[in-house]
Structure 1
Amino acid sequence: QFVLNSFCLSKQHHSLDMTTNPILLYGDPNQALFFGGMGIVSALVFGNLGAAYGTAKSGVGICSVAVLKPELIIKSIIPVVMAGILGIYGLIISVIISGSLKAVPYDENITKNPSEWVYNYALGYKQLASGLCCGLSSLAAGLAIGVVGDAGVRANGQKNILIALILMMIFAEALALYGFIIAIVLVMSG
């Protein structure tokens, strides 16, 4: 309230009046770009963290199995491949969000008409939510793939364990896919 009062003290500065200046009423649309940028960061960083954890945890299991049974390396690579897909989900969402980040020019005709703004806070919040949906669900899936993949790879010497491993990987990957689908819906609805 103090900031607005200090801006509106003088009636001779009508451009700073709350009723006539949409930037004071709705907020600066160029500051909303921060939330879109955080959506990009969230999708990419959390998705890659999930992919890295899944790859590292499964990779340790593959290395320990390869010492005793080198012929099982190719069969054991499935968790690493499925963990790598998680990073791709984050990359896709980040590229889609970054394509819609556009600064609003500080032209007097545009700043007075919020309907002409190409970016606003609602869009920034949607993009942040989209990035968090994709990124955090990919992180959760990466944790699941890493733990299940490590245990499955170590037990890969047993017959019939490969089918169970693939099924567990599919359900773990589905966690990331749910977040990816919601992220796409959120980004495209903006």
Structure 2
Amino acid sequence: MLSAIVSGIQSFFGALGCAVSIIFTVIGASYGTAKSSGAIFSSGVIRPDRMMQNTLCAIMAQVLAIYGLVTSVIISNSIEEKLALYTGFLQLGAGLAVGLCGLAAGFAIGIVGDAGVRASTQQPRLYVGMVLILIFAEVLGLYGVIVSILMLTRSKLNVTQCSY
């Protein structure tokens, strides 16, 4: 009985990593979309010709959810009933890395998108600066994906399988 419980704990950590990667990135993406969309629509009243150009913020926020989805799929494809504890912890760490980076990037994209869309509506020359800052915010999520993929590739190397 105890061995069945112990062997399930490792898989639990992998499943938890899978869940937190998609949950936190989606929270970040939804915040970034909601925060910047308010500015997009209020600025669209003033300058409707720039409406489609200003949707870049919402699009960049949604890319964060794709980062979490990719990591979740990679983790879920390697979850097994008997998993080494090392592998389960690395899967949890990978999920947390991409999830929390995506959450932070979503907050940054939302705040920059809100201020940037309102400013570039009043002064169109500010649009390029807004895009550059949005790219810097998006890269935060990309860093999390890179670290999580590195962790996931290491999670199966030189691992001794549990014997219980």
Report if TM-score (shorter chain) is over 0.5: yes
Which of 97, 101, 107 is equivalent to 1:133? 97
| Alpha-carbon distance between aligned partners in 2 of 1:35 and 1:144, rounded to the nearest angstrom | 29
CA deviation map 1:100-159 (0-9, x unaligned): 01113xxxxxxxxxxxxxx12111100000000000000000000000000001112213
| Alpha-carbon distance between aligned partners in 2 of 1:95 and 1:30, rounded to the nearest angstrom | 20
- 1:32, distance to aligned residue in structure 2 (A): 1.0
Structure 2: gaps of 5 or more residues: 156-164
| Alpha-carbon distance between aligned partners in 1 of 2:15 and 2:88, rounded to the nearest angstrom | 8
Does residue 76 of the first structure (1) align with residue 38 of the second (2)?
no
**Structure 2 counterpart of 1:180, one-letter code:** V
| Alpha-carbon distance between aligned partners in 2 of 1:99 and 1:75, rounded to the nearest angstrom | 38
Does residue 40 of the first structure (1) align with residue 4 of the second (2)?
no
Is the 1:30–1:103 Cα contact (8 Å) retained in structure 2? yes
Residue number in structure 2 paired with 1:98 = 76
Tell me the matched-pair count.
154
**Structure 2 counterpart of 1:167, one-letter code:** L
| Alpha-carbon distance between aligned partners in 1 of 2:75 and 2:125, rounded to the nearest angstrom | 43
- 1:59, distance to aligned residue in structure 2 (A): 0.3
Residue number in structure 1 paired with 2:131 = 166
Which of 9, 16, 36 is equivalent to 1:58? 36
Does residue 124 of the first structure (1) align with residue 88 of the second (2)?
yes
CA deviation map 1:60-81 (0-9, x unaligned): 0001001111111011011111
Larger Rg: 1
Does residue 150 of the first structure (1) align with residue 128 of the second (2)?
no
TM-score if structure 1 supplies the norm length? 0.78
| Alpha-carbon distance between aligned partners in 1 of 2:7 and 2:150, rounded to the nearest angstrom | 22
- 1:30, distance to aligned residue in structure 2 (A): 2.2
Residue number in structure 2 paired with 1:7 = none
| Alpha-carbon distance between aligned partners in 1 of 2:63 and 2:9, rounded to the nearest angstrom | 33
Is the 1:30–1:120 Cα contact (8 Å) retained in structure 2? no
| Alpha-carbon distance between aligned partners in 1 of 2:140 and 2:46, rounded to the nearest angstrom | 33
Structure ranking higher in helix proportion: 2
- 1:84, distance to aligned residue in structure 2 (A): 0.4
SS for the counterpart of 1:102 is coil
SS for the counterpart of 1:103 is coil
Backbone CA RMSD of aligned residues: 1.7
| Alpha-carbon distance between aligned partners in 1 of 2:17 and 2:110, rounded to the nearest angstrom | 25
**Structure 2 counterpart of 1:130, one-letter code:** A
Does residue 180 of the first structure (1) align with residue 158 of the second (2)?
no
